[in-house]
Structure 1
Amino acid sequence: MSEHALILIDIQVGFNDPIWGERNNPDAEKRAGDLLAHWRANGRQVVHVRHVSVEPGSPLSGAGTEFKPEVTPMPEEVIFEKSVNSGFIGTGLQAHLENIGACELTICGLTTPHCVSTTTRMAANLGFKVNLAEDACAAFTSNADTSFDDGPALTAEEIHRTALAHLHGEFAEVVKTNTLLQA
């Protein structure tokens, strides 16, 4: 039987910093925690990915790299560290997934238009079937720089939904957490 692994991306305390701006989906961590509890209860593979920034003063360095309490890894769970948007670049994530026989992935985390999107796209390009738990992800207003045009600033919800729309159907099936928990 092929393995269906859960990948939790960058659900770190550094994203509590106000530098990120307004955020959508305040329940994302709870939904990710629900997925994590379900995967653990069913003996499925869990992978945590953490962003360790190389940018001086980044909120995602030092103490900001700690996982949020809703998704704290168990000692036996695998953790990969990255310093770019994709969980696959510079890590052993692909080899690990291949070694455990994973063919299907469920992905959630922070932030939807950056590390979640990039990892989802790469996972699909590498041949994995991907489910993206849309309500276990979130975006911030800092994720959109509209200085290139005269249009209005995008809200965190608009950024989140746009990123999901770009992924759904081509790179992933975008679904709600409850759908995944009932499957």
Structure 2
Amino acid sequence: MKPANAAKTALIVIDVQNGFRHPTHWGASRSTPECEENIEHLLKAAREYNKKQGEDAEDKSNAIIICHVHHHSIYPDSLLHPDARLEIDGKVVEAVQPQSFAQPEPLEPVFIKDVNSSFIGTELEAYIKSKGVRQLIIMGLTTDHCVSTTTRMASNLRVVSVTSPTGELDEGDIVLVDDACATFSKGGFDAETVHKVSLASLNEEFAEVVNTKDVLHGVFGY
């Protein structure tokens, strides 16, 4: 993990959508109750960092790129289908819409997928490469599905890698924020176990797994 002024950095915010607020649809329990608050902190830190860079920050070499990925299922019975609705706090909302704290700002691109990987059927890989990104910071829902698949493919596709004229590969950095992602109980295992085992299988092979405080300090200098 590197400071934002030392490596072109992108935040990838995956599937932070209303559909995942349903209390029972995805599982009997959910891990990481602090997940949403931490994602909000990281988004705020990235946006404040960019404001310090001045106007048109997205065009500056040291600005942080903020990418949002949303899931639009092709299956009508999915709670993340574009036609799905659910009631939250007495109001009926579109399930595919982002949760209020994760609303994209005007200069933040949104990529729509219908599978687990954020790189299949989207322009995310091309966008990251076009911006010269050398460090990804990944967060969102859910740890063992779309977050894990995206992290694995980011590594396998070498989306933040560059090859020198002599053929030497510099793989860049892929960072996964453990307390800014969450999942649900399944297969007889409680949610925290599913979450922790999923992270353990990614750490030091597909990504560097860190926590929100690590990122706030190491990337943004807080």
Q: TM-score, normalised by structure 1?
A: 0.92
Is 1:73 aligned to 2:117, yes or no? no
The one-letter code sitting in structure 2 at the alignment partner of 1:15 is F
Gaps of 5+ in 2: 1-5, 51-63, 83-93, 161-172
Residue from 177, 192, 216 that aligns with 1:157? 192
Moved over 3 A (4+): none
The one-letter code sitting in structure 2 at the alignment partner of 1:130 is I
Matching residue of 2:44:
37
Residue from 4, 16, 19 that aligns with 1:11? 16
**How far did residue 11 of structure 1 move?**
0.5
Whether the 8 Å contact between 1:38 and 1:181 is mirrored in structure 2 is yes
SS in 2 for 1:42: helix
**How far did residue 24 of structure 1 move?**
1.0
RMSD: 1.1
Residue from 202, 207, 221 that aligns with 1:167? 202
Gaps of 5+ in 1: 147-152
SS in 1 for 2:95: helix
1:4-63: CA deviation from partner (whole Å, max 9, x where unpaired): 100000000000122112101121111011111111111211000000011112111231
Residue from 55, 58, 62 that aligns with 2:75? 55
Alignment of 1:51-130 (within 5 A): 51-62=71-82, 63-127=94-158, 128=160, 129-130=173-174
Higher Rg:
2
**How far did residue 3 of structure 1 move?**
1.4
The one-letter code sitting in structure 1 at the alignment partner of 2:204 is G
Matching residue of 1:179:
214
The one-letter code sitting in structure 2 at the alignment partner of 1:45 is I
CA distance in 2, matches of 1:28, 1:2: 25
**How far did residue 2 of structure 1 move?**
4.2
**How far did residue 76 of structure 1 move?**
1.3
1:157-177: CA deviation from partner (whole Å, max 9, x where unpaired): 000001000000000000000
Aligned pair count? Answer: 174
Residue from 175, 179, 185 that aligns with 1:135? 179
Question: Which of the pair is proportionally richer in helix?
Answer: 1
Matching residue of 2:53:
none
SS in 1 for 2:153: helix
